[in-house]
């Protein structure tokens, strides 16, 4: 009977060993991920820290620009009386395309508003996640 118990104990220890190895592997993976994040988030020198500050300022400028454009669009929508709108597209060569169809203008403005909001939210999230 002792041989049977020894065999059973050996089998049980073999079953438990891979679980312990998997746990250790997960801990090692987690530590490796922490080290990578520290290397990314913690600048090594003053030059890297200043570069991060520049990047943060650029993100801030982009956010302010998008917010201003969104405010301009909201002002346009509020002042809109659905009777005298015109939408003009102009390229770098000076060619213009003007449309005055209210339904088309409404669709275009709706699309622009949705795109601006998506870009503003994306930039806001970048700013919130940014670490100098």
For position 18, what pLDDT does the model report?
A: 53
Domain residue extents for the chain? 1-42, 45-132
* Count, residues in the chain: 132
Cα–Cα distance for residue pair 2/8, rounded to 1 Å:
10
For position 38, what pLDDT does the model report?
A: 66
Do the Cβ atoms of 132 and 56 come closer than 8 Å? yes
Cα–Cα distance for residue pair 78/109, rounded to 1 Å:
12
- 0.75 exceeded by pTM: no
**Three-state DSSP class for residue 89:** strand
For position 77, what pLDDT does the model report?
A: 84
Contact residues for 85 (Cβ-Cβ < 8 A; gap 6+): 100, 102, 105
Just give the CATH number of 45-132: 1.10.287
> In sequence order, what are the beta bridge partners of 89?
97
For position 43, what pLDDT does the model report?
A: 62
Q: pLDDT 10s digit of each residue in the chain, 132 long?
A: 455 554 555 555 555 555 557 677 777 777 777 776 666 666 668 888 888 889 899 999 999 999 999 999 999 888 877 777 888 999 999 999 999 888 888 899 999 999 999 999 999 999 998 876
For position 97, what pLDDT does the model report?
A: 94
């Amino acid at each position: 009977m002792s041989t049977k118990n020894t065999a059973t104990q050996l089998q049980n220890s073999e079953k438990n060993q891979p679980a312990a190895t998997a746990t250790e592997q997960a801990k090692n993976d987690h530590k490796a991920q922490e080290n990578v994040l520290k290397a990314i988030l913690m600048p090594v020198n003053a030059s890297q820290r200043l570069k991060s500050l520049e990047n943060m300022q650029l993100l801030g400028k982009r956010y302010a620009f998008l917010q201003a454009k969104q405010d301009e669009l909201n002002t346009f929508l509020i002042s809109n009386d659905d009777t005298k709108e015109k939408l003009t597209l102009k390229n770098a060569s000076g060619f213009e395309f003007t449309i005055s169809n209210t339904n088309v203008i409404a669709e275009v403005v709706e699309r622009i508003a949705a795109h601006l909001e998506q870009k503003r939210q994306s930039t806001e999230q970048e700013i919130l996640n940014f670490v100098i």
